[in-house]
Structure 1
């Protein structure tokens, strides 16, 4: 009992010393890291890039499965946004839509607008990914032509990919630059190309990747394979353009149908102020609204399914 006070004092001093040593190690390590980043940035070996927001949230989000899926989608879209920034922007947009719908229409439409905001955010990523994939597909004939010319000149396939990354514009140049960087750090050609095909899924890219991998493994005639593939990709490109033109009216109808429904609902509420609030004040009215919105969603999905043609 008499030794308790000195023991407590000794443990407290030891904890203070360890805390000071830990703080010193943390600050010195952080200073060394910043000095290394500044040195590499000044020599042009790395690009420091813009200062990111919500870095703590971004680090925690990347450790989760949801964060990894968001990161994969953002990488496929090519957007300069981190998963943490995307999550904060989505939550802010959902909150804004919730408040606007609840104040303009009725409180019942607040949660529905929030769900619509989450769906819209995911749809935006899918649309941007599809748009980038389409742009990449349109450049595939040029990619095959550049790789064939470089291979015919005696360059290896790895060097040809790096040269094509420098010559081609985005998104093909950016994606091939990622493949070239992965090859530069020791990844195999099969893994790098398979990851490219998973990032931008399309039949044309799968054919190109399979051609390059098989030619690299078997040591076949890469030049002749790429020449034939270039002609095929050009023909598929023209076919896709014709089909897209023929289906443009159907796609516009798919978006016009739900827009007309929402516009009619706003028109009724403007003619008879408070009509939506009174209608959704009962269980029957809420059920009818949900069924109506469900029918509009079914119509939208049905029209999109009918107009979807795989080429």
Structure 2
């Protein structure tokens, strides 16, 4: 019996040590991946924050969310679901911030193009017109144009600098501007008039997109309400019938039901978003 107990203790120790090594390696790999992605993402947004601080904040929020959900539901499955959601939260937040920044840049484009065209009509070169626009305009478009000017000053080719600008601001509008400037530089022509026409086109396109967003706002809100309604009803029923509802979190049949609910609700939300999202 003593030998068997000793062997069992050794086995548990070895398994625990191996599990800790694997967990440590996974955590280190996640930290490196998170900081590398965060560094690129923050630089694209012109946010000068140390990626390490964001990593520790993310880990802290993950642990707090996991423990709070575990204490609240007394079940491991909901806590793991919350942990997974918090794990994916930084990327989702980055996408939201990037989209808002891109929308702001596109809204600033028509006025900026008209400013550049006016400066060129007054006799300024393209670089001088860009400098005036950078001084007068506000971020984030001013930041992108300033980086374009810096690249031109250090000797980057004009076409390459425009390609970099289009890559930083991925949109049909910026591709149109880059193509117009390249064609004007290669074959000649009145660039100020071309920019005015492009500005008019972009303004009309943004107005049409705004009207579509206004018309589809109700459908998007209905999608959010219908997605959140099952979870709200679940919370209400849990407080009304905690004994019966707790079976969802403590029995395999309940875990399957929760999984099906999550899958169906997600599919419903995706389908609604596909219906109300209209490309112009």
Out of 49, 73, 86, the residue aligned to residue 81 of structure 1 is 49
Q: CA deviation at 1:245?
A: 0.5
2:87 paired with 1:118: yes
Find the counterpart in structure 1 of residue 16 from structure 2. Answer: none
User: Within 2, Cα distance between the matches of 1:90 and 1:131?
Assistant: 22
Out of 131, 134, 147, the residue aligned to residue 103 of structure 2 is 134
User: Within 2, Cα distance between the matches of 1:189 and 1:82?
Assistant: 32
> TM-score if structure 2 supplies the norm length?
0.81
> TM-score if structure 1 supplies the norm length?
0.73
Alpha carbons of structure 1 residues 218 and 70: separation in structure 2 relative to 1, 3 Å:
farther
Find the counterpart in structure 2 of residue 212 from structure 1. Answer: 181
Alpha carbons of structure 1 residues 291 and 224: separation in structure 2 relative to 1, 3 Å:
same
Give the 3-state SS of the residue equivalent to 1:139 in structure 2. Answer: helix
Counterparts of 1:52-131 in structure 2 under 5 Å? 67-105=35-73, 106-131=75-100
User: Within 1, Cα distance between the matches of 2:189 and 2:37?
Assistant: 37
Counterparts of 1:128-167 in structure 2 under 5 Å? 128-167=97-136
* 2:35 and 2:55 in contact (8 A); partners too: no
2:193 paired with 1:232: no
* 2:134 and 2:145 in contact (8 A); partners too: yes
Instruction: List gaps (5 residues or longer) in structure 2.
Output: 1-27
User: Within 2, Cα distance between the matches of 1:121 and 1:256?
Assistant: 24
* 1:182 and 1:192 in contact (8 A); partners too: yes
Q: Per-residue displacement from partner, 1:31-56 (whole Å, max 9, x unpaired)?
A: xxxxxxxxxxxxxxxxxxxxxxxxxx
2:141 paired with 1:172: yes
Instruction: List gaps (5 residues or longer) in structure 1.
Output: 1-59
Q: Per-residue displacement from partner, 1:65-104 (whole Å, max 9, x unpaired)?
A: 6645433333344444343333332222222222222222
User: Within 1, Cα distance between the matches of 2:38 and 2:165?
Assistant: 17
Give the 3-state SS of the residue equivalent to 2:192 in structure 1. Answer: helix
Give the 3-state SS of the residue equivalent to 2:219 in structure 1. Answer: helix
Aligned length: 251
* 1:183 and 1:189 in contact (8 A); partners too: yes
Alpha carbons of structure 1 residues 274 and 158: separation in structure 2 relative to 1, 3 Å:
farther
Q: Per-residue displacement from partner, 1:11-49 (whole Å, max 9, x unpaired)?
A: xxxxxxxxxxxxxxxxxxxxxxxxxxxxxxxxxxxxxxx
User: Within 2, Cα distance between the matches of 1:174 and 1:81?
Assistant: 17
The structure that is helix-richer by fraction is 2
2:185 paired with 1:184: no
What RMSD, in angstroms, separates the aligned Cα atoms of the two structures? 2.3
Q: Per-residue displacement from partner, 1:191-239 (whole Å, max 9, x unpaired)?
A: 2222222222111111112112222233332111112112112211211
User: Within 2, Cα distance between the matches of 1:280 and 1:127?
Assistant: 32
